[in-house]
Amino acid sequence: MTRVALAFSGGLDTTVCVPLLEEEYGYDDVIGVTVDVGQPASEFDEAEETAEALGLEHYVVDAKEEFADLCLEGVRANATYQGYPLGTALARPVIAEAILEVAEEQGCTGIAHGCTGKGNDQLRFEAVWRNSDLEVIAPVRELGLTREWEQEYAAEKDLPVEGGSGGDWSIDTNLWSRSVEGDDLEDPSYVPPEDIYAWTQAPTGETQEIDIEFEQGRPVAVDGVEYEPVELIEHLNEVAGAYGVGRTDSMEDRMLGLKVRENYEHPAATTLLNAHEALEGLVLTQEEREFKQLIDQKWSKKGYEGLVDAPLVGALEGFIDETQQRVTGTVTIRFEGGQARAVARDSKFAAYSAEHASFDTETVGKITQEDATGVAKYHGFQRRLANEAIAANADDDEVELATDGNGEDE
C-alpha cells in the first residue's frame, strides 16, 4: 500500500489535496500532519475536525520549542528581511522537518503540500524534503488549481470546508509573527482597516518601560523574571502588543520575483531585536559592528530562503557565536507610540568609558586632547590633494572641450 504524508491545515487548499492525492496521483492512503509552531488553538480544532470528517489519519506535532530556539538564534543575527522580522520563513523549515519525520516513521513513499506555484513556501518546504527519498508532490501547483476551482471541487465532493475562504484575509500565525494578506490588501493604495490586527492595539499616549536581560546574545529574562524561550516570546507579544509595537506594511520581493504586499504583526520580535541591537552597540567594537552587518544580512537572506541548514549559515554562525560571547547585559526598552525604543543599556563587557567620553574630563587615559592635533591635520589629507588637482586642471579641461566643440567646416 502506498502512503503519502500531507502538510495539513484543514483549510481549503489542503482539504482538496486529500482526494486529489488519491484520484490524480494514485495513492492508497493519505495521512495529514499538522505542526504546532504557535498557531491559535482554533486552527488545530479546525484541522482535527476536518480530518475527522474526511476520515483522515491525522498527526499533530509540537515544534514550538524548536521554532522558538530558531527565532532567538535569529535575534543573535539581527534577522530581518526588507524591514520586518523573519517569522513565516523561519517556521517553514521547522514544519517541514517535523512532517518529514512523521512521513518516514509511518512508512510513506510520498510527501505533499498545498502551496501554489507563486509563493515562497513551496521552496522552503521542498528544500527540506528533497534531501529524502520520498516523492515530493504539490497538487495545487502541478495541476494549476485556482481558488475558484477548489471551491467548486469542494462543493462537488461535499468536502468539509466553509466557503473556502475562512474570512476576508489570508492569515498565517506562529509564535514570532502574524501575517495578513489577500483581498483588498493586494491593492497597495488600500489603507488597511484596524480590524486586520489581532496582536497589536492602536498606539496611544501611554508608555511602559521593561528590562530585558541577555546572556551571550539570547534573551533570558524580563523585569528580573526568567522565562523559557516559548514563554518569553508569548509574554512579550502580549506586553508589547498592548502598545501597538510591531506593525509592518511591506511591499515584499519574493524569491520568484513577484512583488507582493504583506502586513505583519511581530511585537515580541521587534522588541527583542531592538534590545539586542542596542546591547551590541554597547559591547562590540566599531569594526565588529560593521562587519557583523554583512554577516547578519547573509544569515537573514538564507533564513528568508528557508535554508538555515546551509553550510554558509554554519560558517556565519561561527562569527556570530564569537561576537555574542560578550553580548550579555540588560537593556531597558520603552514602549511608546507604537515603538519599542532602547532607552538604557548596561553590560560588564561594555566597550565604553563614561570618564573617557565625558566633556568634563581633560584627558582620555594617558591621551591628551592636544594629541588629536596631528590626527586632525592628516584627516581628509587625500581629499584636499584630490580637490586641488581637480581645481588646477579645470581650466585645461574647459579649453579642450571648447576646442573639440568647434569641429571642422563641412
The H or E element containing residue 91 is helix 88-105
Q: Can you read off the three cell numbers belonging to residue 306?
A: 528557508
Is residue 176 within 8 Å of residue 71, measured between CB atoms? yes
155, three cell numbers? 462543493
Q: Which residues are annotated as a binding site for ATP?
A: 7-15, 114
Write the CA distances from 169 to 91, 176, 260, integer angstroms: 20, 19, 14
199/240 Cα distance (integer angstroms)? 9
Which three cell numbers, joined as nine digits, stand for 322? Answer: 564569537
C-alpha cell of residue 91: 517556521
DSSP 336: E
Computed from CA positions of residues 76, 82, 85, 86, in that sequence, does the dihedral angle turn out positive or negative? Answer: negative
For 200-237, the DSSP string reads: -PPP-S-EEEEEEEEETTEEEEETTEE--HHHHHHHHH
Q: Which residues are annotated as a binding site for L-aspartate?
A: 116, 120-121
Which residues does the annotation mark as catalytic?
13, 92, 121, 170
Alpha-carbon torsion 312, 317, 319, 320, what sign? Answer: positive
- Grid cell listed for 332: 531597558
Spatial contact of 12 and 147, defined as CB atoms under 8 Å apart: yes
- Binding positions for L-citrulline are 84, 120, 124, 170, 179, 252, 264
End-to-end CA distance of the chain: 89
Number of H helices, E strands in the chain: 15, 18
Backbone angles phi and psi of 85, in degrees to 5: -65, 140
